[in-house]
Structure formats: structure tokens, C-alpha cells
Amino acid sequence: MNNYKLWFWIINTISFLLRISFIGRFGLTTDEAHYWVYGKFLSLSYYDHPPLIGYLIKVSTSIFGDTAFAVRFPAIIIFFLSAWIFYLCAQKLFDEKTALVGVVLLNVMPIFSIAGSVMAIPDSPLALFWLLSMYVFLVILESKNDNLWYLLGITTGLAMLSKYNAVLIPVSIFIFLLISKKNRFWFKHKEPYFALIIAFIIFCPVILWNIENNWASFGFQLKHGFGSGIPKLSFIHFYQAIGGQAGYLSPFIFPFIVYAAFIAAKKAFKEKDEISLIVICFSMPTILLFNCAALFNEILPHWPAMGYLSLIAFAAHLTIQKWGNIKFRIYTISAWSITLIIIAIAMAHIMYKVIPIEKFLPQSQAQKIAHGIEESERIDISNDLYGWQEIGQEIKKILDTYPPKSKPFIFTHKSYLASQLAFALPDERVFCISNKLDAYDLWQRNLDPLKNKNGLFISNDYFYSNPQDYKNAFDSYGAQQEIPIYRNGKKIKNFFATLCKKFDPSKLQEGYSADYFLGQKNELFSELVKYDHTIFKFINYFLHNPIINFIMVPISFLDSRGINLSFFAILILSLAFLWNNKREKFWLNLAIFACVLIASTLATLMLKDYFDRSRPLSVFGDESVNYFYEKIYSSSFPSGHTQAAFAMCVYMYMTVSKFRWLFVILAFFTGFERIYVGSHFPADVFCGALIGAVCAFAMLQLAKRFSKI
């Protein structure tokens, strides 16, 4: 290991330890609380974003509990990995010195060092898979390895499960291949098109969710990003977008990033430099798209963030080239140092409130008080992170005064409040009843179970609302109770709780339900389940005959005793074939083989726990299912037997050349057997096979790359 790699691991480890030391010391942002709520409503996708961030938070909180630390823990792990992949990308593009400088710069810029590495937001996994996709593409260009396109399809698909911005990855690759003459030959190969198909398949859950929910998420993001109605040119939005990006990247470093983009474009198109062309193709489509959208609609400054990743590597390259210039060196050291100092002060203020904001306000404004709160406290955005656990405790005290059967449900009028309250009260269901479409409308399509119940309405001084705005939906309203929240002895928030008696959802005005905005939910999955059941009945009932039964009886008997015969049969055959055909690399192949099994099994176990789908015996009853000895009623999705069989068989199919057909037969036989003996539905088997096959393929491709097999 040379000094650059050593320093990288030192910096990355220190960075990780610093973040892990403070991620649990302050409350969640509204967005983080909202993504935590995703875990309470596990789904193929969500109204605001694709599902990956919700799944990651769900896994973490299942292990560490419902704490701010657990919610943010995936973000710092992901940034640790992202920094490593960024280092590899910059090393491929330039050299190890540039890679190290680039990682330091990555840790300096607030959008990556704080927003993308501490906060649990969709951009965090998006950055990881964006960089992984770029790295795999760089390896493809270097090695001309056709098979790596399949891995690129997987990483792109996972990026698309993180955030919709990932659709720009294939756009960036297409533009590069179109412009680069020496790489244009890839258009004649089938592998890039198969990579797109793989990415599409991985993204399919989001598409299916949108079909079922009348394209709600796609429609929301298109309107959110590009506006609705006739576009109107607005340079104010554009200047705000540029200013926001400068602030997120650091106003002191941003001018140099712009300069780096100009130099990269010049070298790419004037000097025909391939490296610069890659940088431009992975940056400018994203940056230009969102900044052009800003001419007509307000955008958030972090939306084009992925486009700056490759530019940071190029900026590091220019930094090294220009380091000999004393003026440039002074500028760089000053810009980076000031940015780090500002970040340190901001983090200290978040945790310890060190900035006396009232000193920076005119006296008349500083003395202004609304709802008993000083103006300096109202504009201090760090206060948004505090007080939620306290309000949760106060609401719980109110709820505890009621008998369990007459306890009111909790509701509010803003999704921002609903998510924070839900995190503060993890054992309670929080509703958001408003005339604006949001994710809660899709989670609470049917409010009839709340009919004639009392509700406890919560609002605050920032999002204040009078519960009587619901008009006739409640019979009567109690007195409003004020709940003040303090930080360091000063009032920072006021919450208001009002008891609303006898709710009647049918009396809500129009616009208070998802059906009003989207129409009724398409029962796509109900239809798919029907087909799933139909195929199961055909295999389990109509195909039953004495000859197949003779084969299945001993397999089912051993399964009922905890012995998976198909697993051990494939395992023994695999070990024998590896020993006979790959003896010189037997132990290495065995280690990879084990990794494939472990990875696919962990994925299956997590999915079983989340979905907990009922088995055929539970759905149809013992009398309606042909079974032998094995009787299981829960945790059907996906099939663990099939996952293990396909993981082993696909690995062996790709590793050995002789008798490949034998492993294909064994894999498909295992899937068929699980349906035939009444243990699984076809969808369970299909998804189990997909998990096993994808894990085997991905692990083998990584092993070939890094172990030189």
C-alpha cells in the first residue's frame, strides 16, 4: 500500500469516526423523519421517492431502535463506501494523488460532507450507486469486458431505486459513446442494451407502484421539478438555483468548480481528450438539465449534486497542476480552510447553540416577539431539530388520561408535522388530514375506521391551523391547549393540542383524499395475486400424479425434519465439480461460493421478515392444498430453498464448463418442487430465483475484477 492509499484510509476513517460521534446528538430533519415513516408503510415505492432510503432506514432501526443515530447510521456507512469508490474513479481517470486530493475536497464541500454523509436522504445511496456505475463504466472502457455491462445494469438499477435522477446515468453514458469515436463500437454490441433491460427490471417495482397508484409519484416529481402549466421565464429562480448550489458546494470553492467545468469542456471538445469527455458527460447533462429547469421553475439546490462528482475529481486534478502557483495555493488553502471552519461552527451551533443570532439582527427585529417566541429563535433553523421528543412526551401524557378504548387518534394538517410527530410517538399512528395531496393520503385512503372516534389535533406556531377549518367533520371542538418547547432556557416553539369530538370522514370537503386527486386505486396487485394463485393451483393440484409424488415424498419428509435435500445435493455436486475442474483455485472459489450463499440468504431473510406473506396452507386451508409432510403457514416470500438453489447453480453454471445443464435442471426442479409440495406460491419461487441468480452473477463479476480469477 503506497502513501496515497494509506492517507486515504486514514482520512476516510477519521471522517467516519467524527460523523458517528455526533449523528445521534440532535433530532431529525423533517425529511429524515418522513423517510423513517416509509418503514412503517413498507411498499414497492412511495409518493415522494423510490423506496431504497426507506428500506435502509428500516433495516438500521430494526437493529438499533427508533433513534436519530439509527436513522442516520446508513448514511455514514454509505459515505464511507462512496468515498472509496470516488477514490477508485479518480484514480482511473487521473492518478492516486488526484484521487486523494479529490476525497479531501469531497469531505470539505457541505453538500457531500454534511447533507450527503450525515443526513439520511435519497441522495446518499444515489451517490454511492452513481459512483459505482461510473467506476464500472470506466473499467468497461479500459478492459473492453462485455460482461461488465450486466454489472453496470445492476448498479444503475439500484441508483434508480434510490432517486429518479439516476435516469441520467444511461443518458450520460449514451452521450459519451455517441461523441467518442473509439468507443462508439459499443452500440453494435448487445450488452449495453441488456444492461438497460436489467436496470429496468430492477426499477420495475417503482413502475408497478405507480401503475397501481395512478402514476402519482412520477406526476408529482415532474410537476415538482419542471412545474405545471405554461412555462414562464424567470431569471430570479435561476439566480436562486445558482446561489443555492454555490452555498451547498461552498461559495469559496464554487468559482473554481465552474472554472474546472470550463477547462474540462475545452479539453474534451477542442483537444479531443477522452478523460475530460467522460468528466463532462457525467456532469453537464445533470447540471444543465436542472439549471435550465430553474429558468422556469424553482428547483432545490441539491438536485444537480450528482453532476458535480466527476467535476470534483477534475478540480482536484487542476489543483495539483496549479499548486506551484503561489496565488492559487493561497486561494485554495484559504477557501478550503474557511469552508471547514464554517462547517465546524455550524455543527457546533446545531449541538451547542454557539452563534448569538440576536447580535446580527437589527434591534427592532431582535426584540420582535410572536407567540411568545423571540425573532432570533424563530429564524434559527437549528431549532427545527429540537423539541420533537418533548412534544411527543407531552402528547403521550394527554393520551394516557383517556381509557385505552376511547383514546383519541392523533392528526395534523401538514405532512411535515405528521412525520416528526410519528417519529416522536413510534407506537402511535399519526394521520395527516389535509386538502393537499401528499404521501399520507396514499397511506390512509380509507378513513372509515376512524368514524365516530375523537381526534387530537396538533399544530404549532410555524404551521398553525385552526381545527375548526374541518367544519362539520367533527361534532365539536374542545379548548386549545398550548404546549411550549424550550432550548437553553428560551422558548423556541409553541405547539397546540385540541380535542375534536366524533369524526365523520364522509363530511370532509372535497380534496381531502387521494381518490379526489388520483381516482380510485388500481388493484393491480390483487390481479397479480389472482394469477399467482391460479398458477399455484395448476401445479399443486392438476399436475399431481403418483410418479412425481414418489419423488417428492422423501424430499418433503426430510424438509419437515429440517434437512433440505435439494440444497445438500447441489452443494455436494458443486464442491465435487469445483474440486475436479478448478482444483488450483478451489479454496478461492469456495470462498466466493460461500459469499454468494451468505449474501443471497441475508437478502431473502430480510424480505421474509418485511413481507411475512402467508403460505398456501394459510391462504387456502389444509384441505385445499396438496402437501406431504412439510406444513408451514407464514414467511412465504421469497422462497429460501429456490434462492439457495439458484445462487449455487448460477454460480456453478458461470464457473465450470462441463455439465452446465445439470445445474440448470437442479435449480428449476427445486423451484417446481416448492410449488408442487404446497410450500410456496410461484411468485415466491420466481423472486427467490431472481435473488439467488443476481447475487451469484454480481458476486462472481466482482470476484473476477478484484481477485483476477
Q: Where are the domains of the chain?
A: 3-347, 387-504, 524-707
**To 10 degrees, what angle do helices 307-322 and 254-269 make?**
90
Q: The C-alpha cell of 443 is what?
A: 397511506
- Contact call for residues 119 and 31 (beta carbons, < 8 A): yes
Q: Whole-angstrom distance between the N-terminal and C-terminal Cα of the chain? A: 21
**pLDDT band, very low/low/confident/very high, at 230 (cuts 50, 70, 90):** low
Each residue's pLDDT tens digit, 606-658: 888 777 888 999 888 888 888 888 888 888 889 999 999 999 999 888 888 77
Q: The C-alpha cell of 81 is what?
A: 463506501
Each residue's pLDDT tens digit, 140-151: 999 999 989 999
Would you call 492 helix, strand, or coil by DSSP?
strand
- Average pLDDT on 368-390 reads 88
Which letter does DSSP use for residue 540 in this model? I
pLDDT at residue 609 in the model? 78
pLDDT at residue 1 in the model? 47
Each residue's pLDDT tens digit, 69-127: 999 999 999 999 999 999 999 999 999 999 999 999 999 999 998 887 899 999 999 99
Which letter does DSSP use for residue 185 in this model? G
Torsion, Cα 256 261 266 271, to 10 degrees, reads 100
Report how far Cα 562 is from the mean position of its chain's Cα atoms: 36
**pLDDT band, very low/low/confident/very high, at 287 (cuts 50, 70, 90):** very high
- Contact call for residues 120 and 35 (beta carbons, < 8 A): yes
The β-bridge partners of 432 are 412
How far apart, in whole angstroms, are the C-alpha atoms of residue 158 and residue 282?
Answer: 17
Question: Is the model more confident about 534 or about 280?
Answer: 280
- Average pLDDT on 6-25 reads 94
- Average pLDDT on 377-387 reads 91
- Average pLDDT on 382-386 reads 93
- Contact call for residues 277 and 181 (beta carbons, < 8 A): no
| pLDDT > 90? residue 224 | no
- Counting residues of the chain whose pLDDT is more than 70, the rounded percentage is 98
Secondary structure string (H, E, C) spanning 125-161: HHHHHHHHHHHHHHHHHHHCCCCHHHHHHHHHHHHHC
pLDDT at residue 709 in the model? 41
| pLDDT > 90? residue 267 | yes
- Average pLDDT on 383-393 reads 94
CATH number attached to the domain at 524-707: 1.20.144.10
pLDDT at residue 589 in the model? 80
Each residue's pLDDT tens digit, 431-456: 999 988 999 999 998 899 999 999 99
pLDDT at residue 123 in the model? 95
Each residue's pLDDT tens digit, 298-343: 888 889 999 999 999 999 999 999 999 999 999 999 999 999 999 9
pLDDT at residue 93 in the model? 96
- Contact call for residues 441 and 514 (beta carbons, < 8 A): yes
Residues 6+ apart with CB under 8 A from 294: 237, 238, 240, 241, 242
- Answer whether the bond into residue 426 is a cis peptide, omega within 30°: no
> Residue 277 is inside which H or E element, if any?
helix 274-281
pLDDT at residue 229 in the model? 63
Each residue's pLDDT tens digit, 681-690: 999 999 999 9
- Average pLDDT on 384-409 reads 93
**pLDDT band, very low/low/confident/very high, at 283 (cuts 50, 70, 90):** very high
Query: Average model confidence (pLDDT) for the chain?
Result: 90
- Contact call for residues 51 and 43 (beta carbons, < 8 A): yes
- How far from 10 is each of 3, 16, 17, 487, CA to CA, in Å? 10, 10, 11, 37
